[in-house]
Amino acid sequence: MRTILIILSIFFFTNANGQITIKTKKLLQDFDYAVSELRLQHQGFYQYVDKETVDADILSLRNQLKTPMTKLEFYALIRKLNALMNEGHGSVNIPNWTKIKIGITKSFFPLGVSYYDKELIIAQNFGEDIPGLTKGMKLLSIDGEPIESITEKLMPLISTDGFNETSKYKWVGGVNFILLYRLIYGKKKAFELEIIGPNNSERQKLTVPAIRYKALKAKNAKFKNKNFSHTKFGFEQINDSIGYLSIPTFRKSSNNYPKFYQEQFKKIDSLKIKHLIIDIQSNGGGEEGNENLLFSYLMKDRIRKYKKVTMLPAVYDINKKSKGIIFDKWALKGSIAERGEFTCYSDYYSNLGYKPPSPELVYEHKLYVLISGYTFSGGAEFASMIKMTNRATFIGIETGGAYEGNVSSFSETIKLPNTKIKISIPSVHFQMEVNPIIKGRGIMPDYEVPQTWDDYMNNKNAKLDFTKEMIVKMGQHLKAN
C-alpha cells in the first residue's frame, strides 16, 4: 500500500501554556533523536542535496537550541528539519493528549484561502458574516503585511519533493493556511484585511474577528463550494473525436478501478475517440497498482517503471514478516533491502488482484495529460511513466511529485522523548527509471497553463479549455493543408 500524503494536522497552545519553555538539554536530546531516526529510516536526506550542505543545514537548526524554547517553537523547528528531507510524504504532529490538555483558544484566522497563480484568493469563511466580504476576493495583506511576505514565512514549514514549489502553493492553502498562520504569528483577537474584489474593483479594508479552532468545520462554512470537473471521476465526449477522462485520485476506497477503467475505455473505443484528455491535476496518489492499471490502458508495451525499490535495513527488520513484504519478495542485499524485480514493471498491480486490459481496449491514439501542483505521489508516478515513454502532451503546471520518484509507504511513527512530538517517517524509496537533466523537479508541462483568479471565479478548468482549443486548431490546420 502506498502512503497517501497526510496534509497538516496542527493544534496550538493557550496563551499561558504557550509561554512555558523547555530546557535546552531536553530540546537537544529530542533533536538528536529525531535526526538519528530519520537517518536510520528515511532515504531522503541526500537524495537531491550533497551531504556537506545538508549536514550544515542540520547543524544550523541545532545551533538554534542554545536557549530554551516553547514546545510550539520547537515544533516549528522540527518541521523545518523534516523539510530538509526534500520529500513531501510524512508529517510532524503534536500529540492528541497535548491538544486535549491545552484546549483551543479563540485566536485563529477565520478564512480558508487558495493560491491561484500565486495570488491568494478567499475561498471560505468559517467566522462571522462580514458585510462586503465575499467568496473569490483577493487577499492583499493581513495586518499591514503583504501576502507575499507572509507566504515567504510559511513556505519553509512545508515539505515537498526535491525543489518543487507548485505543491507548496497548493498545500499551504485551505485550512492549512489558517493553522500555519497561527503557528507563525501567534494569538490574535482580530485581523485587518486589505482585499480587492473580482475584476480588480476598488481596494478595501475589513476587520474580521478571530475564531476558535473548533469552528473550522464544514457546517460553519458560509460560502458555497465551487465544483470543477477535475475533482470527480467521469468521462465526457466533447465532440466526435475528443474525449475527456478525469481521474482525481488513485485511492482504493474512492473507486472500483478495474470496472471504471473498463467501462470508460469501452466507451472511448466505441466512440472512436482520436484525442483523449486525461485529467490528473487533482490526483495526489493512492494505493500502488491503480496508476499502473490506467497506464496499461494507454500502452501495450510492458515497461520498466522503477530502477529499483529500496528501504533501509532498520525498517526492513521491523516489517520483514508482514504480508506486503513477503508478497513483494523483499530481500536484504548488503546495506540495503530491495523489493522483488517483478514489482519494478508497469504490469505490477501490487496485491490488488488486477488483470491487464483486453488488447482491443488499449487506447493508442493522441493523448493529453493535465497536471498541477496537486499531482503527487502515485499521480506523479503515472505522469512520469507517460513522460518517460513520450506517450502524451502535458498541459498545466509542474507536478507536485518529483519526476524521479519519491520516498513513501511503510511509515513508522516515532515520538520524541521529552516534547512527545510525533514524526511519521516514510521509508520506501521508489526510484523511477529516469535520468533527468535537472534533479528534484516535477514533470514539466509542454504547455504551461496556470489556473488563474478569473478561472476560479468563472468555474473554468483552464487546462481543459486550452487543450480543447489546441486540438481544434490543430485539426483546422491539418484540413487547411
Whether residue 164 has pLDDT greater than 80: yes
- Grid coordinates representing 456 are 476560479
Number of domains in the chain: 3
Domain presence at residue 380: yes
Instruction: Check residue 129 and report its DSSP letter.
Output: -
Give per-residue pLDDT as tens, 107-151: 899 999 999 998 999 999 999 999 889 999 999 999 999 999 999
| Domain encompassing residue 431 | 229-475
Q: What is the pLDDT of residue 4?
A: 36
The domain spanning residue 413 has which CATH number?
Answer: 3.90.226.10
| pLDDT (tens digit per residue) in 429-481 | 999 999 998 899 999 999 999 999 989 988 899 999 999 999 998 876 455 54
Q: What distance in Å separates the CA atoms of residue 212 and residue 126, rounded to the nearest whole number?
A: 10
3-state secondary structure of 464: helix
pLDDT of amino acid 70: 86
- CATH number for the domain including 144? 2.30.42.10
Question: What are the pLDDT digits (tens) for 242-262?
Answer: 999 999 999 998 899 999 999
Looking at residue 175, its pLDDT comes to: 83
- Between CA 85 and CA 42 the distance in angstroms is 8
Of 185, 201, 220, the last residue of a domain is 220
Mean pLDDT of 226-245: 93
* pLDDT tens-digit readout, 344-377: 999 999 989 999 999 999 999 999 999 999 999 9
210 in any annotated domain: yes
Phi, psi dihedrals of residue 213, rounded to the nearest 5°: -60, -40
Question: Average pLDDT, stretch 376-398?
Answer: 97
Alpha carbon distance 73, 183 (integer Å): 8
**Same domain for 389 and 264:** yes
Q: Per-residue pLDDT for 216 more than 90?
A: no
Angle at which helices 147-154 and 175-185 cross, to 10°: 90
* 480, part of any domain: no
Of the residues 79, 102, 125, the one at which a domain ends: 102
> pLDDT at position 199, please?
67
Q: For residue 308, which amino acid is it?
A: K
106 near 210, Cβ under 8 Å?
yes
For residue 277, give the nearest of 117, 465, 449 by alpha carbon.
465
Residue 132 sits in the same domain as residue 182: yes
Residue that has been written with the C-alpha cell 495586518 in this structure? 143
Residue 456 placed within a domain: yes
Q: Grid coordinates 542485499 are at which residue? A: 333
Average pLDDT over residues 21-48: 93
118 domain-assigned: yes
Pairing between β-strand 331-333 and β-strand 336-338 as defined by DSSP bridges: antiparallel
239 & 212 share domain: no
Are both 95 and 138 inside the same structural domain?
no
- 397 and 336 within one domain: yes
Contact in structure between 232 and 248 (CB atoms under 8 Å): yes
Instruction: Give which of 322, 416, 450 is closest to 37, Cα–Cα.
Output: 416
Residue 427, pLDDT score: 93
